[in-house]
Each structure stands twice: as structure tokens, then as C-alpha cells.
Amino acid sequence: MRDERNDARGRWQISPARRLVLRGEDVARCAECKTPPFDAFGDHVALRAWILEHRKELAAELRDYFRKNPELHARPDRWFGLLTLQLRAEVVLAWERSALEPASGIPLDYLAAREDAGTLAPEALRAFLVDGFVAHVCGACRARLARPPRSAHAVRERYVRWFFDGDAKAPQSTDPVRWELLDDAIAYCVDELALASERGK
């Protein structure tokens, strides 16, 4: 007998075609936080500059550590080996989580679970969510994206940020079909109370 739950999980996977397109693109930054991945492994000068610009909390923690330990005589090219094991692990985790991977703007596990419960999505909507609303996202942001959307506004804001550099008017004029699909996705995915609140604005 066929396992319908596994069928639903299989339907809600990022499209192989979309993965192929993303692989061929020269993606420089995370669609969500706009942080570039760190890939200059072994270059501690570049790593220091990346942390200072893109990981402010970690940078503050490192500055505090070296301020309290002036005898270490840290330099831009000589600091990583002077860290405690815990701080070194935090730095490694930061650069590892900067790696970009395809992700959907609405968590697909959440959508598969809804389908498991009997709420079947129209095929055009499913195709939009596994292909059209997919971009490269860093590991830190993917962890946040795993949670269901909190409101209709948050979903629209994410779509505009990912594909239109924050220009809220652009998608309605340049790609109205996908903008309508986005509204359909919101109606399907987001709590009706949140949706009603957004429509009432």
C-alpha cells in the first residue's frame, strides 16, 4: 500500500530544475540577510574583515576577548590561533553557516504537513512554492525560515526582498502572475486571522 505521507513529502521538495538554475547563477549574497558567504578558507585577514562587517555580535565578542587579553598581541593576520576553543568554534560555525543553499520562502515541511492533514494545494500553487519562491539562503537564515510564516505581510515582504531588492511596487507591475500566486500561497499557508488583518489595512 502506498504511503501517502511520503508522497506528500516527495511533492514538497525544491524543484530539481530550480536547483539547476540556481547552481548556474553567480549568487553573491544570501537572499534573506544579503550577507555574502565566506569562502576564503585559511585567509585570516579576510575572515576578520568578513566578521567585522557581517557578524557584528561575534565581532564584539572577539574585541572584548582581545581587550581583556592584551598580552596575546593579536594582529589582523594573527588572531584565530589565539582564541579559546569555544570562540574558535563560534567563528567556524559562523563561516560554515554562511554557505548558501536553495530554500523556499515558505517552509516546505510545513506545507507537506498540511497536505498530510488533508489540505491539498493546487498544482500551480505547489509549483510556485517549490520553484518560483526559491532562492539561495545562508544557513543562519534557513534555520529561521524553517518556522511557519507569522503573517501575510512577512511573506510579501520576504518575496519583495528576495527578488526585487525591497521595491514593493516592482512585482505587481513586472510579474503580476507570480504576485497573484503569492497571494494564493498566503491564503493557503497563513492563518486566516493574519490574512484578514492584512486585507483590512
Domain-wise residue ranges, the chain = 4-34+99-199, 44-96
What digits encode the pLDDT tens for the residues 133-167? Answer: 999 999 999 988 888 777 888 899 999 999 998 89
% the chain with pLDDT above 90: 46
pLDDT above 70 (res 29): yes
Please say whether the beta carbons of 158 and 107 come within 8 A.
Answer: no
Give the model confidence (pLDDT) of 81-126 as tens digits: 999 999 999 999 999 999 999 999 988 887 787 777 777 778 888 8
Closest CA to 33 of 132, 109, 144, 110: 144
Is pTM beyond 0.85 here?
no
Adjacent-strand bridge partners of 155: none
Residue 171 or residue 57, greater confidence:
57
Of 152, 149, 147, 155, residue with least CA distance to 195: 152
Name the H helices within 79-122.
85-96, 108-116
Evaluate if residue 40 carries a pLDDT over 60: yes
Sequence-separated (6 or more) residues with CB below 8 Å from residue 74: 66, 82
